[in-house]
Structure 1
């Protein structure tokens, strides 16, 4: 029992350690002169004109790593007890909506924790909170981090869940992560019509229209992904 628990906790420990080291690198040893600027810099891996490799890697690890952890937990605990879980649930749809709520809450908690991590690190370094970055108001930066960041995370989670549910293959699941990583590159997602890496701070401008447009794209794809899953459940005659 303890060995199984240790194996399940190992990916979580590795993930959190990478996030802590990455955040510390940006906030404690970076060149940003405010806390908001540090957060903006860390999640500014991709922008319309190009990519900053290390920042993009950190951005994708933060998002896809958390999705992997959730599916890792699902596979080891929930999937192994699926029969009993479905007996207690009213239907696949009811169970799925419950899982969607869980993963949304998980994403929100982690985004808040990440912001607090930068805030505490900034205080230790003696940085002020800041009033914005490059003419971008703090309110827009925070909206993009929390709202679009959450919508981005849910998109990644739903896409990965669809792949896992249909094919039940760890190899294909990891392959889907690689595909999402590539589709987030500006050379592919040229006009930001695809729901990948849109919560990067590189797409933030001083106008609210830009972040609202990103929210609209992410929400539209979330709806499409949920409808697709509902159709999959209906096809399996599980609703």
Structure 2
């Protein structure tokens, strides 16, 4: 993972300001370390043409207000950010009925055994899918009414699920600078696996430690202010859920 320079002894307030709304850093241990060791390279990630793909939070939220939306404290904070660069991720997905034979063969060739599962180590969707399956929860792109309940997962199953979600996040973080202060918009199809694995980790983590999960839900809104996964309804300072 590319690291920005931060000198030892820097003013704590300056550090806190530079980390506002960013993904926390996860140390790759256990299954995550195994997943990283299996990578032949990180996922590709790049800044799109800034002339056409710069994201202006102030303009985005001004349009929301003009449409009659009332901004939450969290959204008002994001609206004050300067324009940010928009990134795009390489996408690796699990073979399905729409993938070609050539893609299926390439995926199979790159697949490895991690833990007790066979998957392509850059397939972020696979980490999220396995995590939710181990927890016995439904997988959903968006925010639902949480019918499963936060306390209904067996603790050992939750441990295993968090290990897989954490591994997926660590794979993602290999490809982005720290701190990542730009946007990774959900409207870009190839970015969606990143949002799914981040939401999966946050969703599972809040069942273990709701306070620790807050930063992850907040980061999801900073990453994608349109918030297609509904993280703003869980993040501190976000709007009340609408059911």
In terms of fraction of residues, the more helix-rich structure is 1
Q: TM-score by structure 2 length?
A: 0.29
**When the two structures are superposed, what TM-score results if normalisation uses the length of structure 1?**
0.29
